[in-house]
Amino acid sequence: MKILVTGAAGFIGFHLCEKLLQENHEVVGLDNINDYYEVSLKYDRLKELGILQTDAQLFDKLATSSRYKNFSFLRMNLEDRENLSELFESQGFDVVCNLAAQAGVRYSLENPYTYVDSNVVGFLNVLECCRHNNIKHLLYASSSSVYGENEKTPFSVFDNVDYPISLYAATKKSNELMAYTYSHLFNIPTTGLRFFTVYGPWGRPDMALFLFTRAIDKGEPIKVFNQGNMSRDFTYIDDIINGIKIVLNNPPELKDKEDKHAPYRLSNIGNGSPESLMDFINAIEKGLGKKAKKELLPMQPGDVPQTWADISELEKLGYKSSIKIKDGIPKFIEWYKSYYN
């Protein structure tokens, strides 16, 4: 297939591109390479895919990979409606994986407009391009944050998610509603992927694993919220990519336009079992051979004490989560030590 992956310089997007390329799909990667976290990491991910930084820095210019003959990359903002439309028209994509978004729950408290521009306006542009260019399946990143303070566990895609507690979560919920509308009106198969705390090599520096590893390694204190009484459905990147691949190959069933059922699906992608934050920290300590200095703090606004994915719907398609933190964290730390010398 010919696949557009937006957010290709991001953590999940980079790993997805690599996997798709190894399976001989033709891939075009798109990213605006914003400075939400260190851009050097984004350029280094692209370098792994054979794209030089000098080429990746240029806006609206397609760069070809020196490593994969079936990969090219374009720096572009999703808000750029005109150039995005031209890209879709010229490339003839079969499938779109929209992983580009302004990420981060806490950052959305400080920079709300950025989230609406990227996650709402940008997503609308993607939907319009899919509508006018015969896209066979649109996958897009939603988030476990849409569940808010949901007290029922595990979190199911059939649960009510009308009460987001951060603007980031609200934009992800809006993406799901917008996708449903386009599936219903224009018969576009869409799948929303609710990711649960993804970690692994090449991960995001603003995520807990990266922040904790860096601080513990330097002998600095780590911030442990809610006095450490938290658990997360930590999901290793390889499981996430396998889940995306399964969904990619199983688009929601197309129905007749008279049928009220739209070709629309939501999927949780997680580990399927939460693990405690303290066990997570212990695994990092063990991997580094250093003890953490813990600064115990109250719960932050927009945060939740537990996430837990009900992955039964995805398991029906053949998904199986296989990597626990005791195995996944050492792989991250091995990469971290190598990357930072």
What is the DSSP secondary structure assignment for residue 317, as one 8-state letter?
T
What's the pLDDT score for residue 208? 92
At 278-317, the pLDDT tens digits run 999 999 999 999 999 999 999 987 678 889 999 999 999 9
pTM score, whole prediction: 0.95
Instruction: Choose among 121, 16, 113: nearest CA to 77.
Output: 121
Q: What residues act catalytically?
A: 168
Residue 138 CB partners (closer than 8 Å, separation 6+): 95, 96, 98, 126, 127, 130, 179, 188, 189, 190, 191
Instruction: Tell me the backbone φ, ψ of residue 152, rounded to 5 degrees.
Output: -80, 130
Cα–Cα separations (whole angstroms), residue 185 to 172, 189, 191, 340: 20, 11, 15, 49
Domain range list for the chain: 2-202+235-272+309-322
Answer positive or negative: Cα dihedral of 289, 293, 294, 300. Answer: negative
Instruction: Choose among 132, 231, 142, 218: nearest CA to 179.
Output: 142
Q: Which residues pair with 296 in a beta bridge?
A: 224
What's the pLDDT score for residue 174? 98
What's the pLDDT score for residue 103? 81
Instruction: Choose among 3, 6, 20, 37: nearest CA to 106.
Output: 37
What's the pLDDT score for residue 261? 74
What's the pLDDT score for residue 39? 97
Helix (H) or strand (E) holding 85: helix 81-91
Separation of alpha carbons 305 and 165, rounded Å: 13
Separation of alpha carbons 163 and 71, rounded Å: 40
Instruction: Tell me the backbone φ, ψ of residue 192, rounded to 5 degrees.
Output: -95, 130
What's the pLDDT score for residue 2? 98
Separation of alpha carbons 333 and 311, rounded Å: 27
What is the DSSP secondary structure assignment for residue 93, as one 8-state letter?
-
What is the DSSP secondary structure assignment for residue 117, as one 8-state letter?
I
What's the pLDDT score for residue 111? 84
Separation of alpha carbons 31 and 26, rounded Å: 17
Coil, strand or helix at 96: strand
What's the pLDDT score for residue 253? 85
Q: Are 219 and 290 in contact (CB under 8 A)?
A: yes
> Within the chain, which residues score under 70 in pLDDT?
254-260, 302
Separation of alpha carbons 304 and 164, rounded Å: 11
Beta strands 221-225 and 137-143, pairing class: unpaired
Classify residue 198 as exposed, middle or buried by CB count within 10 Å of its CB (0-12, 13-18, 19+): buried
Q: Per residue, what are the HEC states of 39-66?
A: HHHHHHHHHHCCCCHHHHCCECCCEECC
Separation of alpha carbons 307 and 205, rounded Å: 21
Amino acid at 274: P
Fold of the domain built from segment(s) 2-202+235-272+309-322: Rossmann fold (3.40.50)
Separation of alpha carbons 138 and 14, rounded Å: 18
Instruction: Choose among 14, 99, 36: nearest CA to 269.
Output: 99
What's the pLDDT score for residue 255? 62
- Between helix 208-218 and helix 277-288 the angle, nearest 10°, is 40
